[in-house]
Amino acid sequence: MKSNVGKILTTAAVAATISTGAAAATLDDVKAKGFIQCGVSQGVPGFSNADDAGNWTGIDVDACRAAAAAIFGDAQKVKFTPLSAKERFTALQSGEIDVLSRNTTWTYTRDTSLGLDFTTTNFYDGQGFMVRKDLGVETAMDLDGATVCTEQGTTTELNMADFFRKHQLSYVPVIVQKADEALAAYASGRCDVFTTDKSGLAAHRSKLSDPAAHMILPETISKEPLGPVVRHGDNQWKDIVTWALFVQINAEEMGISSENVAQIKAESKDPSVRRLLGAEGNMGEALGLNSDWAYNIIAEVGNYGEVFERNVGPNTPVGLPRGVNNLWTEGGVLYAPPVR
Amino acid sequence: MNEKTTTNTSFFNDAGNRALLFQTLLLIAVMAVGYYLFHNLQANLQTQGISTGFSFLNEPAGFPILIHLIEYTEANSYGRAFVVALLNTIVISLMGIVLATIIGVIMGLARLSQNWLVARLATVYIETLRNIPLLLQMFFWYFAVLAALPHPRNSIIFGDFLLNKRGIYSPNPSFQDGIGIAVAAFFIAVAGAIALIVWAKKRQKKTGVWFPAYWTSIAIILVGTILGFVIAGFPVEFELPQKSRFNVSGGMVLVPEFVAVLVALSTYTGAFIAEIVRAGILSVNWGQTEAARSLGLRDSLTQRLIVLPQALRVIIPPLTSQFLNLAKNSSLGAAIAYPELVAVVMGTTLNQTGQAIETIGLCMLVYGSLSLSISFFMNWYNKKMSLIER
């Protein structure tokens, strides 16, 4: 706790003193220092999580890696700053990090009043509820009078309040500073319900001692488009982070993956594929990058489908289905503008 | 008054003038730095497009708060949420201070006890709690309390009281017409008791005859209040806690978060206060006690009239620091879901509005004023207790 306060104060002080001009060319700063400083969570499996050796993996981590691959041709040129929910925006505003990629929900207030810009969505989520199976609850409408645990400083708090108010259900809120302790309070029986984004529920359930004793209720009570965030006013930098994600989505749509990208670049006759991979023209120039920027993203990080399957897909401990996070051609909502 | 002495030293060699000059320069430098930081901050916030100001306090908060002493719903403003959190901080601090002082005095005396077992137990308590980080103790109390208690379905029941993981539930009194009579009776009894104490003191000074005024006044207040209730016809109704599907509804509830924070704060600070009390008592020369005894004072009077007043002079200044520590440490309650200032304002409000500088400024202002108030009160008390030297 103390350290959090300290961190916020220092970042506030840093914001006050050195960040004049931080709104300018982040790309130049990043190129000069040789890596991207990426703000991530303190550990959400599948999104941003460090293993025993300190290697970060996850969908949010890969968003930063894609930008690094586009700029440097090396997806490893990223340094990570783990941030709590309440530290994250200050860290980005103050210039401590270059990109905030920390399962952060895109909302009106955040986009307009924080001096920040959301790039695009890399995961479409929605808030849900987790309960013990032996409670006998089938739907969220049965939760009248329940005690609800959640993490502090997230959109979750407000969505929960809105849901219960809308349906005129009474509830007791237990709002804990960190997700892990909120989960511990739920596990100890302080609460009947644990609520956060559904992807988070799946990730947290995998941490419980007996995951099978808990179930996620069918209701999704909010829209949670999660995506990377950059500082307001640096359009070039925003474009790089945004298009690094669009390239991955387009690549999946075109059937280009990290395994076949080299072959396709050499053999393809399709002009849109050749433009994307830099075999024709120089699409990277407009972003201040090399012509092989998109090629590097796909070769080093993979297309969106690969990223999803590797981090949160059905074969991972998180085990999420593609659901809405599928290509528009496959019944999902992923629809990236064309690279042309 | 002496006449002004005229000297030949030049203006700059005069010690007083020099001191004034340097102090003025320092003040200007501090103000310049302060202005530079403020200006820079404003310019940066503007270029980054971060909105500033305190107008967000009027916006609806939208989030719930577990413990609120005043009426609060999600539809209320951030400003009201701030007041709710402020009250929670003040309540936990004041209750913690009272409890910690009681624990500290008892443990301090126990450590000085002639009884070997009592003294050793007190030593173990003090050394253990003083040396474990407070945050850890808070987690311990929170999760230990939660682990030990039963699920609401299997609540422990004593009469109208229920105990489970969600808290201690008790009947909730609601006052009916006629409560005014009972309240009036209470205040009349208090006034009577005060008058009795004043009279007894005056008489003892004049005649030396002693009267058990404190015990009598407690009896007067009790009897007077009960009499008031009887006359008014017991104008109180109790709403009993009922088991509902998930929890217990109705009644008053003391939640585990509050209990854990209070216990952790008061036992932790109590251990420090115990050592301060012990040091204070040991600082009074044994000769004082012997002298009092040879005057024929009973042991209790020796403690109350001779030892304690002298010990207090040593105890109060470090005690003030402990009270200040306790008030500031209450912010750790945020870690275990106690909705105090840091949790509500620097946690939720900061995150929902993004007004980092305003919310942190508010919190700093509150902790500053809270600490200064405690400090002023304790300084006043210290002055009152200090030896009046002639």
DSSP for B85-104 reads: HHHHHHHHHHHHHHHHHHHH
Characterise B260 by phi-psi region: left (phi > 0), alpha (psi -120 to 50), beta (else).
alpha
SS3 B148: helix
Angle at A216 between CA A213 and CA A221, to 5 degrees: 160
Q: Which CATH number characterizes residue B338's domain?
A: 1.10.3720.10
What are the pLDDT tens digits along chain B (390 aa)? 455 555 567 777 888 888 899 999 999 999 999 999 988 888 877 777 777 788 889 989 989 999 888 999 989 999 999 999 999 999 999 999 999 999 999 999 999 988 999 999 999 999 999 999 999 999 999 998 888 888 888 888 888 888 888 888 888 887 777 788 888 888 999 999 999 999 988 988 888 887 888 888 899 889 988 888 888 877 777 878 877 777 777 778 889 999 999 999 999 999 999 999 999 999 999 999 999 999 999 888 898 888 888 998 899 999 999 999 999 999 999 999 999 999 999 888 988 887 888 899 999 999 999 999 999 999 999 888 877 766
| A101 falls within a domain | yes
- B40: which chain A residues are within 8 Å (Cβ-Cβ)? 16-17, 20
pLDDT-derived band at A224 (thresholds 50, 70, 90) equals very high
Chain A 163-202, CB below 8 Å of chain B: which residues?
165, 170-178, 181-182, 184-185, 188-190, 192
Show the tokens assigned to B294: 């040879």
Q: Tell whether A21 and A170 lie within a shared domain.
A: no
- State the pLDDT at residue A16: 45
> For residue A16, which phi and psi values (nearest 5 degrees)?
-75, -30
Residue B245 lies in a domain: no
Q: Residue A52 domain-assigned? A: yes
Provide the β-strand partners of residue A176.
Answer: A151
Residue with tokens 């009884």: B115
Inter-chain residue contact B347 with A152, CB threshold 8 Å? yes
Burial zone of A174 (CB within 10 Å; 0-12 exposed, 13-18 middle, 19+ buried): buried
> Does residue B252 lie within any of the structural domains?
no
Q: What pLDDT, on a 0 to 100 scale, did the predictor assign at position A199?
A: 87
Domain that holds residue B209: 175-238
What's the sign of the alpha-carbon dihedral A297, A301, A303, A308? negative
Query: Which residues on A lie below 8 Å from B346 (Cβ)?
Result: 5, 8, 86
- Taking CA atoms, what residue in A is nearest to B148? A188
Any B CB within 8 A of A132 CB: no
Residue ending a domain, among A183, A201, A222, is A222
- B280 and B350 in a single domain? The answer is yes
Distance CA A289, CA A218 (A): 45
Residue at a domain's end among B221, B238, B255: B238
The answer to whether residue B159 is domain-embedded is no
Q: Is residue A61 part of a domain?
A: yes
Q: Which residue of B has its CA nearest to A178?
A: B335
Do B128 and B272 lie in one domain? The reply is yes
Q: How confident is the model at residue A21 (pLDDT cuts 50, 70, 90)?
A: very low
Q: Which of A1, A145, A152 sits opposite B247 (nearest CB)?
A: A145
- Out of A189, A222, A255, pick the residue that ends a domain: A222
Asked whether residue A99 falls in the same domain as residue A197, the answer is no
- Which residues of chain A make contact with B47, given a CB cutoff of 8 A? 20, 23, 233
- The CA distance from B164 to B146, in Å, is 8
Contact A333, A212 (CB under 8 A): no
Domain annotation covers residue A8: yes
Interface of A with B in 41-70 (CB under 8 A): none
CATH of the domain at A193: 3.40.190.10
Name the domain count of chain A: 2
Same structural domain, B127 and B271: yes
Q: Is residue B301 part of a domain?
A: yes
User: Measured between CB atoms, does A86 come within 8 Å of chain B?
Assistant: yes
Together in a domain, B229 and B277: no
Q: Are residues A104 and A164 in the same domain?
A: no
In chain A, the percentage of residues whose pLDDT exceeds 90 is 63
Residue B73 lies in a domain: no
Shortest Cα–Cα distance, A119 to chain B (Å):
17
Residues A17 and A110 in one domain: yes
Does one domain contain both B216 and B308?
Answer: no
Q: Do A8 and B360 touch (CB under 8 A)?
A: yes
Answer whether B63 sits within 8 Å of A146, measured CB to CB.
no
Q: B43: which chain A residues are within 8 Å (Cβ-Cβ)? A: 20
The answer to whether the Cβ–Cβ distance between A86 and B347 falls below 8 Å is yes
Based on the domain organization, do A174 and A322 belong to the same domain? no
Contact: B64, A190; criterion CB under 8 Å: no
Claim to verify: residue B271 and residue B375 sit in the same structural domain: yes
A235 plus A270 within the same structural domain: yes
Give the CA radius of gyration of chain B.
28
Contact A324, A333 (CB under 8 A): yes
> What is d(CA B73, CA B95) in angstroms, rounded to the nearest whole number?
25
> How do residues A102-157 score in pLDDT, each as one tens digit?
989 999 888 988 889 999 999 999 999 999 998 889 999 999 989 999 988 778 88
User: Are B318 and B227 members of one domain?
Assistant: no
Q: Are residues A112 and A230 in the same domain?
A: yes
| Amino acid making up residue A233 | G
Looking at the structure of chain B, the number of domains it has is 2
Range of the domain at A62: 2-124+226-330
Domain shared by A7 and A92, yes or no? yes
- How buried is residue B9: exposed, middle or buried, by Cβ count under 10 Å (0-12/13-18/19+)? exposed
If asked whether residues B228 and B326 sit together in one domain, one would say: no
Looking at the domain assignment, is residue B287 inside a domain?
yes
In this complex, which of A15, A115, A158 lies closest to B62 when CB atoms are compared?
A: A158
Query: Is A216 in the same domain as A233?
Result: no
Residue A207 binned pLDDT confidence (cut-offs 50, 70, 90): confident
Is A161 close to B245, i.e. CB distance below 8 A? no
pLDDT, mean of residues A202-220: 88
User: Quick check: B40 and A114 CB within 8 A?
Assistant: no
| Pair A264, A284 in one domain | yes
Residues of A in contact with B336 (CB under 8 A): 176, 181
Q: Please check whether residues B270 and B376 belong to one and the same domain.
A: yes
Of A201-210, A242-251, A252-261, which gets the smallest average pLDDT? A201-210
To the nearest whole Å, the CA of A7 is away from the closest chain B CA by: 12
Q: Are B278 and B372 found together in one domain?
A: yes
In a domain, B297, yes or no: yes
CB contact under 8 A, A157 and B165: no
Instruction: Tally A–B CB contacts below 8 A.
Output: 157
Taking residue B236's Cβ as centre, other Cβ atoms within 10 Å add up to 14
| A340 in any annotated domain | no
Task: Considering only the beta carbons, identify the residue of A158, A188, A189 that sits closest to B352.
Answer: A158
Residues A135, A22, single domain; the answer is no
Same domain, B273 and B347: yes
* A208 in a structural domain: yes
- A148 and A23 both lie in a single domain: no
* β-strands B252-254, B167-170 pairing: antiparallel
- In angstroms, what separates the C-alpha of A91 from chain B's closest C-alpha? 11
Residue B83: closest CA among B344, B286, B330, B258: B344
The reply to whether A8 touches chain B by the CB within 8 Å rule is: yes
Using an 8 Å CB-CB cutoff, list chain B residues near A190: 146, 165-166, 256
What pLDDT shows up at residue B299?
85
Q: How far apart are CA B341 and CA B85, in angstroms?
A: 5
Per-window interface: A 222-241 vs B, CB < 8 A: 231-233
Among A20, A174, A176, whose Cβ lies nearest the Cβ of B44? A20
Whole-model pTM above 0.90?
no
Say whether residue A1 is in contact with chain B using an 8 A CB cutoff.
Answer: yes
ipTM attached to this prediction: 0.76
Query: Quick check: is B342 in a domain?
Result: yes
Q: Are residues B306 and B368 in the same domain?
A: yes
Domain-ending residue, one of A190, A222, A254: A222
Both tokens of A170, joined, read 């009474």
Q: Is residue A325 part of a domain?
A: yes
Task: Mark which of B199, B223, B238 sits at the end of a domain.
Answer: B238
DSSP per-residue string spanning B257-280:
HHHHHHHHHHHHHHHHHHHHHHHH
Question: A110 touching B, CB under 8 A?
Answer: yes
